[in-house]
């Protein structure tokens, strides 16, 4: 079974996290730790690339909300890019597009 | 008396019998095994089918034989592969083993019958038990010998003593002595299979797979019989009325008190009452059900992830309003993590299936287990209050349907069909109503912090994804009565259009027409859209469901997307 892999890219004005694999109750913690560390940092945008995420369960959504809350405290919004359409559909129907910037 | 696994313990109600239960994690590959130590024999009930279990049985028997060498008697509660295969007991030299099973089971094993032994369920093509069965229970032929003679001089004689039940039926019973006043009673309890027996030693009753016989995925296996099962339920209920029986030992899972088994069997009897026309659970049907389980769970997982996501959205906004404790309470009120774990486990089992030799039947049974767990979570009253009721009901209906389909029941024809035009008009009216924001609930609750938060939560949680969609509806001028239940069609259209909204569609056109005996519904987006973005699993699931009704789903893409749903018109069906 393929597990989740997270790689980090530190750019001048942003931290970009690339996730690959399923984000569910077994793997969400692997995303939570680096994503929150970036979101709770003092400055800089945080972008999460979901191009290679095959599936996201509610455990993954929870991590996104935690990061969005942390970023909101310093007036930023979490950015999701390359979101696969099935995941985009769920995020949109769940109302996440109102507080997270989401691009397919 | 509490029965513990993997330890010798005295059997109450006997002068000197002890039991050593082997209870693996419940699975459909290998059953529980119960070993009894009596003065004249060691008795093994259901060796199971895993080599590890056979090794453990051999070890336990060898240790007991070192203390007192005796014959070994192996009994099968029935001939199914997971109970009977036994990978070859290894016992000290000079120890004789004789095996017992109901005559129908002995014949099935001798004939290497892959259906009656359900060996066909297992993709690794298991070998059927080749051991000789000297003890033929409830033999119809007088030629079979009721006395089994062992080389050490011991002899075991099967005594036949049928019991006449208060309802006039006969419970077939045999028994044999295990020495020093201990005895083993055997009852013929068919239904799960023709060869099913139950065994009693003192206060313990071993029931084999009777407690699961009406379960979805189990009823309909080759050899299953509805009338026999109902009679067996009544007869075992009577047996459990005997105060001496205090513990029941099933073929899979933990031993339970006779009282709770009685309650369980009564529930099973009620569930079994409807199962008059169960189709055979053959390899083809299992294959279809496995695909259905995959599709259904994908569909349900998406719905439940949307529920959870909406709660997270509400909690996000509550936090912004500095209502962190209300946000935490909200999330705690629905055990999202539990739902997530249930679904993640299923997803992993389904994925592991593709890279293993796991039987398809396992995925079907696991699907039923997951569906039942989710049904329980969704039926909680507070969930109904918290979440969009139409979504919850939609998920519930599909889960119910899945469990029923696995059980062999299809209630499609029992749903009330309705005119398609009217149904679509009502759906659009409902969406429009939801669009008009009602403020009365918030206004009424404004003086009470708690009530205000609840009203706010409900409002945020009930966000309809269709409220921002611009609809056009061109209804057919003819009658549009179609052979589909109104709720089912509403669920189907709502899910389809919400899916379109979810991937950014803002304008949806709906048109109906009647042609060639079908009512046709065309749903198209004005925007560009790839139909497969709705998820291949869901499209296959929808097609299968419509196919059951004699309908179909066609997807076309010409920049925008068009879905053509064809449903058999009721008038045409009546003529045919």
Tens of pLDDT along B441-483? 656 666 676 666 666 666 666 667 787 899 999 999 888 888 7
Give me the domains of chain B, ranges plus CATH numbers. Answer: 9-281 (3.60.15.10), 282-410 (no CATH), 412-426+466-576 (3.30.565.10)
Is the pLDDT confidence value at B334 over 60?
Answer: yes
Window from B85-89, B131-135, B227-231 with minimum mean pLDDT: B85-89
In chain A, domain spans:
5-102
Higher pLDDT pick, B269 / B433: B269
Q: Cβ of B313 and A58 within 8 Å?
A: no
Window from A92-101, B154-163, B362-371 with minimum mean pLDDT: B362-371
Report the distance separating Cα A41 and Cα A38, nearest Å.
Answer: 5
Higher pLDDT pick, B188 / B147: B188
Window from A31-40, B5-14, B460-469, B509-518 with minimum mean pLDDT: B460-469
Fold for the domain defined by A5-102 = Transcription Regulator spoIIAA (3.30.750)
Q: What average pLDDT does this structure show over B325-345?
A: 77
How much is the pTM? Answer: 0.67
Is the pLDDT confidence value at A63 over 60?
Answer: yes
- Percent of chain B whose predicted confidence (pLDDT) is above 90: 45
List chain A residues with CB under 8 Å of B347.
22, 24, 55
Q: Cβ of B312 and A89 within 8 Å?
A: no
- The CB-side HSE value for B426 (13 A sphere, CA atoms) comes to 11
pLDDT confidence of residue B408: 64
Q: What average pLDDT does this structure show over B115-136?
A: 88
Query: How distant is the Cα of A62 from the closest Cα of chain B, in angstroms?
Result: 7
pLDDT confidence of residue B531: 86
Q: What average pLDDT does this structure show over B212-226?
A: 86
Q: Cβ of A99 and B316 within 8 Å?
A: yes
pLDDT confidence of residue B121: 80
Report the distance separating Cα B504 and Cα B471, nearest Å.
Answer: 14
List chain B residues with CB under 8 Å of A95.
309-310, 313, 460, 463
Q: What average pLDDT does this structure show over A65-94?
A: 91
Crossing angle of helices B486-502 and B420-435, in 10° steps, is 50
Contact B352/A at CB under 8 A: yes
Q: What average pLDDT does this structure show over B571-576?
A: 44
Kindly indicate the confidence band of residue B574, based on its pLDDT and cuts at 50, 70 and 90. Answer: very low
List chain A residues with CB under 8 Å of B501.
92-93
Window from B42-56, B85-99, B343-357 with minimum mean pLDDT: B343-357
For B145-166, the pLDDT digits (tens) are 688 999 999 999 999 999 999 9
Contact partners, residue A50, CB within 8 Å, separation at least 6? A19, A56, A80, A81, A82, A83, A84, A87
Q: How many CB atoms lie within 10 A of CB A7?
A: 11
List chain B residues with CB under 8 Å of A92.
465, 501-504
Kindly indicate the confidence band of residue B420, based on its pLDDT and cuts at 50, 70 and 90. Answer: very high
Whole-number Cα distances in Å, B351 to A1, B21, B294, B360, B559: 8, 33, 10, 12, 33
Kindly indicate the confidence band of residue A2, based on its pLDDT and cuts at 50, 70 and 90. Answer: low
Question: What are the start-end ranges of the E strands in B216-331?
Answer: 247-250, 256-257
C-alpha dihedral (B390, B393, B397, B402), degrees to nearest 10: 110
Q: What average pLDDT does this structure show over B281-292?
A: 78
Smallest Cβ distance to A1: which of B343, B351, B465?
B351
Report the distance separating Cα B363 and Cα B354, nearest Å.
Answer: 11
Q: How many CB atoms lie within 10 A of CB B438?
A: 10
Evaluate whether B9 touches B3 at the Cβ level (below 8 Å). yes
Q: Cβ of A62 and B302 within 8 Å?
A: no
The β-bridge partners of A48 are A17, A80
Is the pLDDT confidence value at A70 over 60?
Answer: yes
User: Which chain A residue has its CA at the smallest distance from B343's CA?
Assistant: A57
Is the pLDDT confidence value at B314 over 90?
Answer: no
Report the distance separating Cα B128 and Cα B126, nearest Å.
Answer: 6
Query: How distant is the Cα of B377 from the closest Cα of chain A, in angstroms?
Result: 15
For B434-446, the pLDDT digits (tens) are 655 455 665 666 6
**Interface subset of B 125-184, CB within 8 angstroms of A:** none
**Interface subset of B 463-502, CB within 8 angstroms of A:** 463, 465, 498-499, 501-502
ipTM of this predicted structure: 0.82
Cα A45 to chain centroid, rounded: 12
Kindly indicate the confidence band of residue B576, based on its pLDDT and cuts at 50, 70 and 90. Answer: very low
């Amino acid at each position: 079974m393929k597990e989740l892999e997270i790689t980090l890219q530190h750019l001048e004005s942003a931290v970009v996290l690339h996730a690959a694999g399923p984000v569910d109750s077994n793997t969400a913690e692997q995303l939570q730790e680096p994503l929150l560390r970036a979101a709770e940092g003092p400055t800089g945008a945080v972008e999460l690339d979901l191009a290679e995420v095959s599936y996201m369960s509610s455990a993954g959504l929870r991590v996104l909300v935690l990061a969005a809350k942390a970023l909101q405290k310093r007036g930023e919004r979490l950015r999701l890019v390359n979101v696969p359409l099935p995941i985009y559909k769920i995020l949109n129907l769940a109302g996440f597009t109102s507080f997270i910037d989401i691009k397919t | 008396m509490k029965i513990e696994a993997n330890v010798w313990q005295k059997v109450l109600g006997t002068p000197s019998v002890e039991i050593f239960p082997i209870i693996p994690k419940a699975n459909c590959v290998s059953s529980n095994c119960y070993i009894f130590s009596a003065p004249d024999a060691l008795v093994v009930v259901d060796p199971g089918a895993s080599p590890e279990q056979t090794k453990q049985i051999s070890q336990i028997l060898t240790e007991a034989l070192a203390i007192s060498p005796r014959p070994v008697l192996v009994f099968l509660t029935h001939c199914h592969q997971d109970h009977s295969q036994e990978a070859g007991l290894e016992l000290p030299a000079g120890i004789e083993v004789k095996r017992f099973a109901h005559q129908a089971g002995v014949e099935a094993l001798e004939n290497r019958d892959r259906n009656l032994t359900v060996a066909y369920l297992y993709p690794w093509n298991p070998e059927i038990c080749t051991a000789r069965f000297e003890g033929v229970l409830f033999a119809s032929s007088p030629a079979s010998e009721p006395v089994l003679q062992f080389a050490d001089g011991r002899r075991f004689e099967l005594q036949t003593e049928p019991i006449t039940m208060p309802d006039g039926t006969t419970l077939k019973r045999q028994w044999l002595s295990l020495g020093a006043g201990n005895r083993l009673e055997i009852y013929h309890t068919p239904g799960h299979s023709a060869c099913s027996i139950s065994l009693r030693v003192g206060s313990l009753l071993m029931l084999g797979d009777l407690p699961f016989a009406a379960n979805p995925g189990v009823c309909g296996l080759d050899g299953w019989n509805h009338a026999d099962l109902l009679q067996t339920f009544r007869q075992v209920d009577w047996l459990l009325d005997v105060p001496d029986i205090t513990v029941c030992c099933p073929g899979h899972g933990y031993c339970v008190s006779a009282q709770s088994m009685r309650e369980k069997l009564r529930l099973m009897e009620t569930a079994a009452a409807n199962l008059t026309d169960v189709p055979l659970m053959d390899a083809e049907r299992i294959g279809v059900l496995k695909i259905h389980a995959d599709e259904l769970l994908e569909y349900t997982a998406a719905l439940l992830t949307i529920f959870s996501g909406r709660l997270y959205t509400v909690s996000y906004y509550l936090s912004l309003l500095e209502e962190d404790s209300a946000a935490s309470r909200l999330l705690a009120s629905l055990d999202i993590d539990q739902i997530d774990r249930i679904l993640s486990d299923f997803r992993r089992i389904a994925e592991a299936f593709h890279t293993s030799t796991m039987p398809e039947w396992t995925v079907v049974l696991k699907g039923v287990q997951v569906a039942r767990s989710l049904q329980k979570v969704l039926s909680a009253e507070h969930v109904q209050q918290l979440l969009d009721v139409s979504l919850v009901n939609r998920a519930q209906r599909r889960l119910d349907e899945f469990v029923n389909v696995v059980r062999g029941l299809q209630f499609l024809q029992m749903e009330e069909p309705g005119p398609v035009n009217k149904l679509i008009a009502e759906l659009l009216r409902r969406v429009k109503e939801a669009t008009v924001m009602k403020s009365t609930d918030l206004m009424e609750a404004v003086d009470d912090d708690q009530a205000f938060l609840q009203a706010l939560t409900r409002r945020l949680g009930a966000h309809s994804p269709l409220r921002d969609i611009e609809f056009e509806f061109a209804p057919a001028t003819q009658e549009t009565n179609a052979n589909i239940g109104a709720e089912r069609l509403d669920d189907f259209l709502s899910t389809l259009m919400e899916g379109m909204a979810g991937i950014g569609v803002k304008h949806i056109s709906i048109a109906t027409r009647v042609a060639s005996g079908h009512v046709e519904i065309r749903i198209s987006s004005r925007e560009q859209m790839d139909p497969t973005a709705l998820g291949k699993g869901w499209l296959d699931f929808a097609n299968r469901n419509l196919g059951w009704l004699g309908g179909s789903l066609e997807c076309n893409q010409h920049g925008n997307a068009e879905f053509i749903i064809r449903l058999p018109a009721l008038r045409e069906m009546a003529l045919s």
